[in-house]
Amino acid sequence: MANDINSVVLVGRLTRDSELKFTNSGTAICRFSIAVNRVKRSADQREEEVSYIDIVVWGKQAEVLNPYLVKGRQVCINGELRQSRWEQDGQSRNRIEVVANNVQLLGSSSGQASNADGNGYVPRAQGPKVEPSGSRKPQQYAPAIEDFPGPEQFDDDIPF
Residue 155 lies in a domain: no
State the average pLDDT over residues 82-110: 89
CATH of the domain at 73: 2.40.50.140
Q: Render pLDDT for 13-43 as a digit per residue (tens, 0 to 9).
A: 999 999 999 999 999 999 999 999 998 888 8
Residue 37 lies in a domain: yes
Residue 160 lies in a domain: no
Domain of residue 41 covers 8-147
- Would you say residue 104 has pLDDT above 90? yes
- Would you say residue 134 has pLDDT above 60? no
Tally of domains in the chain: 1
- Would you say residue 118 has pLDDT above 50? no
DSSP 116-139: TTSS---PPP--PPPPPSSPPPPP
The alpha helices in the chain, defined as continuous H runs, are 60-65
Residue 2 lies in a domain: no
- Would you say residue 94 has pLDDT above 80? yes
Split at pLDDT 50, 70, 90, the class of 111 is very low
Q: Report the distance separating Cα 94 and Cα 54, nearest Å.
A: 13
- Would you say residue 113 has pLDDT above 50? no
Q: Report the distance separating Cα 138 and Cα 41, nearest Å.
A: 56
Look at residue 59 and give its three-state secondary structure. coil
User: Could you report how far apart the first and last alpha carbons of the chain are, in Å?
Assistant: 64
Residue 51 lies in a domain: yes
Structural contact between residues 33 and 14, judged by C-beta atoms closer than 8 angstroms:
yes
Residue 80 lies in a domain: yes
Residue 156 lies in a domain: no
